[in-house]
Chain A
Amino acid sequence: MGNPVRAAALAFLVALIAAWAPPAVADKAHDTLNIVDILPIGSTDVYFGAYPQTQFMSNLLFDALVNYDPSTKKIVPLLAKSWTYLGSNATEFDLRTDVKWHDGRKFTADDVVYTLNWLIDPQTRFQRKFQWAWIKAVKKLGPYKVRIETDGRRPFDMLLLTLTPIYPQHVRAGLAETTDFGRKPVGTGPFKAVDYSENGGLVAVRNPDYKWGGSVKHANDIGRVILRSIPDQGAQISGLMTGTVDLFRGLPAPQAEALAQDPRFTLDVNHGLGFTYMWFDATGKSGSPPLMKLDVRRALAMAINRDHLNEVFTGHLHLPLPQNMCWPDRILGCAYTKTAQPYDVARAKKLLADAGYPNGFNVRITSYIGRLSQLAEGVAGDLAAIGVKATVEPVTLTTFDKKLDANDIQIIVAGNGLSGAPDVSQQVAFFFNAHDRTGDATLLAEGRALDGEIDPQKRLKFARTFYDRVADQVYLQPLTSQPQLFMHTKDLVMGTGSSNDYGFTISDLRWK
């Protein structure tokens, strides 16, 4: 009997060498696009899925009644070929007659009625149900005609319809567990799902019958898409380097720029709809009395060197600094005259002292784990320069929501991407309807006025009043742009103007 140690080592080595094979390279040569994300894949059903990539998958596999064209800033047809407004509470849609589901069955008005009724059914339960609460009823007027009745027409509603994929009644209605639909999705989209699993992700192949995408959801030359989860940036980078990953997003700017030096990889940037911000609790409910004072908030805002933070977090992309909460050039209804607080440490210290805190105070910044926590650390570092001692509390999405609901957050450093709906009403809804941290009745009234106005000119006027007040009272200090950074192989060409929450849709991609 020989030395067992030696034998084992030899066997190990032999097995290692024998099993070594070049990593399975799925790339342009095999016409497969490998996309990975740091978060778990989640369901393809956007009503049950909670991740940004759910929007990407939804766009890939499904269609909505209408679509949004960011280049013209207009709503364009998709499953509905035309529509008529009937007064302020109803719209009639004429549906296309040539649409087929992935399993071959024809798409009809029944599917629209089923989907929308499911959304508003009091028996159905899902997280963001209140986002569709504006739909009052859906009526079938013919095999390809429906009427949607709302609680008062607002321009925002049509935008929300673009984010409302239509599902097949003949597949989903009969399921014992509606959540199962997301695992075996059947849609009308440009790609159809052939496999889905937690480990393997989503595998989708091109739908050869797809011809109703219009100019926005136009066809491309990618044959197969695989979307998987690799929950570690290091692993994503090494995947890109070894050829098993073609595209991923979310890499911080310094790393992305360094990686882009390599001629094999390309960095594309979508400026995005959003921005990062510092959001104060002015109500005092979270236990920080200093934040209730306007001068204190102003002092804290002035202590932040936004140019430096922008440098660090968006690298050498030289993206503009947000001056208020929205970008006038790409968000509908955005207007303001008052802007963010300038960087002025001396004045900040004076304001703080005059407000009664010459030695600063302790405060807690809550942020999301990851890049935003790093931004929060940058903010904490700047605050230390005026004597305010901030600790950063990086939490997960769900914990964040819980704390927000419990009024447990003093300062938020986060980003807002408007979830793919480029309209100011989305911001009003998110920042001030769902969670009011201002206690400012005037502001809330102004927000309601803005939300309910349909005339574009009047909207801009209300917007100006609203956003100016936010800036005046320094409820929120915008920090940096929140660009979406995409690292991909040079074989891929990417368009970067999408308003999709994920930063791109499949139509933005093609092989070189």
Chain B
Amino acid sequence: MRRFLVRRLAVAVLVIVTVSFVGFSLLRLSGNLAAVLAGEGASPREVARVAAQYGLDRPFFIQYLDWAGNALRGNLGKSLFTGESVSHLIATHIGVTAALAFASLALGLALAIPLGVFAATRPNSWLDRASLTFAASGYAIPSFWFGLILIYIFGVRLRWLPTSGSDGWTHFVLPTIALGIATMPAIMRLTRAGMLDVLSADYVRTARAKGLRTMTVLYRHALPNAILPVVSISAAQLGMLLGGSVIIESVFALNGIGLLAFQAIANADFPVVQSILIFLSVVYVVLTLIAELINARLDPRIRL
């Protein structure tokens, strides 16, 4: 177990370093940073002076190491646009995105797992097909479009829910629905596949023979054994929800890091964009690492 952990950790660290380098170079190469910092209408001499002042005339790799050193100490630089500390910006915006991602995943699980269990009890029937189709439709609906429709129906016409902002939990209902339904098919399929495997096992038949109610058999005995792959895909989905919230946050005006990143891209605010990119990647790597560890803990076969 120890060697496994060390190995996976090493890979994770390597990936994070690579991603940080990719993010760093992507945006440094995008234009003359010194000119932007010097401001509009600055003379070439001014620009050169600013470049020296910020260390932008040093070799690229040195700049990266310098940045990385600061980043490890929690200093991600300052926003070019507002002058605020980037780590402060991320810290104040991550809450909204995390809440949205968790809620969306929870919704996806709440809808897809029962659907998967249900489909597994009637494999290859038309009900099975219909469930699969229903789950697939959650993925096929463009989330930004669905968000607009939800706003129109529930926000404007029915006035049940607020249409924008992030001041209270009611603001998260519509975006969660819009974002969460896309996770349905993947979770449902895995649940169904896992249940199909498990349902033919001996201990299930024993439970049935003992006269236990179907629901109990399904959810108390079968599901916990079938749920393993869903755990790792949930971690991956969570990571993707965090990264994919950009569009939904702009549709619903939620002040999360997705919207922050979007605005930063619009403003060519490099320090913010690259920091968010790297932050999201780190979160994803950590989540998948945790998922793998849970998997390994629960199923010793998957160590290799």
Contact = CB atoms under 8 A, between A and B. Distances in A.
B39 A129 contact: yes
Given A3-B215, A402-B268, A242 B83 contact: no
Interface string A14-30: 00100110010000000
A50 B268 CA distance: 13
Contacts, number: 113
Given A242-B155, A396-B266, A128 B219 contact: no
Contacts of A43: 82
B148 interface: yes
A235 B216 contact: no
Q: Pick the most buried of B81, B93, B152: most chain A CB atoms within 10 A of its CB.
A: B81
B31 A402 contact: yes
Contacts of A232: 164, 250-253
Interface in B20-53: 31, 35-42, 50
Contacts of B159: 23, 242
B281 interface: no
Nearest to A45: B83
Interface string A375-418: 00000000000000000000011110110010000000000000
Nearest to A131: B41
Contact of A8 (B81, B83, B110, B155): B110
Contacts of B255: 198-199
B160 interface: yes
A130 B41 contact: yes
Contact of A198 (B92, B164, B250): B92
Nearest to B166: A199
A128 B267 contact: no
A127 B93 CA distance: 26
Contact of A398 (B37, B216, B267): B267
A127 B173 CA distance: 40
A396 B267 contact: yes
A234 interface: yes
B104 to A, nearest CB: 14
Contacts of B265: 396
B165 interface: yes
Interface in B121-175: 148, 151-152, 155-156, 159-167, 169-170, 173
Interface in A30-61: 40, 42-43, 48, 50
A434 B167 CA distance: 43
Interface string B200-220: 000000000000000110011
Nearest to B89: A198
Interface in B65-85: 81-84
Contacts of B148: 234
A4 interface: yes
A5 interface: yes
Nearest to A2: B215
Contacts of A106: none
A234 B40 contact: no
Nearest to A229: B253
Contacts of A130: 39-42
Contact of A238 (B81, B155, B259): B155
B281 to A, nearest CB: 24
A289 interface: no
Given A43-B82, A230-B165, A242 B39 contact: no
Given A230-B253, A402-B268, A1 B164 contact: no
A511 interface: no
A414 B61 CA distance: 40
Instruction: Give the interface residue-count category, chain A.
Output: 35 or more
B31 A239 contact: no
B63 interface: no
B114 interface: yes
A85 interface: no
B39 A128 contact: yes
B263 interface: yes
Interface string B243-273: 0000000111101000100010111110000
A444 to B, nearest CB: 16
Interface in B99-115: 110, 114
A177 B167 CA distance: 29
A125 interface: yes
Nearest to B41: A130
Contacts of B81: 50
Interface in B158-201: 159-167, 169-170, 173
Contact of B151 (A8, A19, A238): A238
Contact of B253 (A19, A235, A369): A235
Contacts of A125: 37-39, 50
A179 interface: yes
Contacts of A23: 159, 162
Nearest to B267: A398
A142 interface: no
Given A238-B151, A242-B155, A127 B253 contact: no
Nearest to B39: A127
Interface centre among A42, A234, A241, A402 (most CB of B within 10 A): A234
21 contacts: A1-B215, A1-B220, A19-B169, A20-B170, A48-B83, A50-B81, A129-B39, A130-B41, A199-B165, A199-B255, A228-B165, A231-B253, A234-B251, A235-B151, A235-B253, A238-B156, A241-B156, A396-B267, A397-B266, A398-B266, A398-B269
Given A40-B263, A405-B35, 19 more contacts: A4-B219, A5-B110, A16-B160, A19-B169, A23-B162, A127-B39, A198-B92, A198-B93, A199-B165, A231-B259, A232-B250, A235-B251, A238-B151, A238-B152, A241-B156, A242-B163, A397-B266, A397-B267, A401-B40
Complex A-B, nearest 5 residue pairs according to Cβ-Cβ distance, in ascending order: A179-B83, A235-B164, A396-B266, A238-B163, A398-B268
Interface of B: 31, 35-42, 50, 81-84, 92-93, 110, 114, 148, 151-152, 155-156, 159-167, 169-170, 173, 215-216, 219-220, 250-253, 255, 259, 263, 265-269
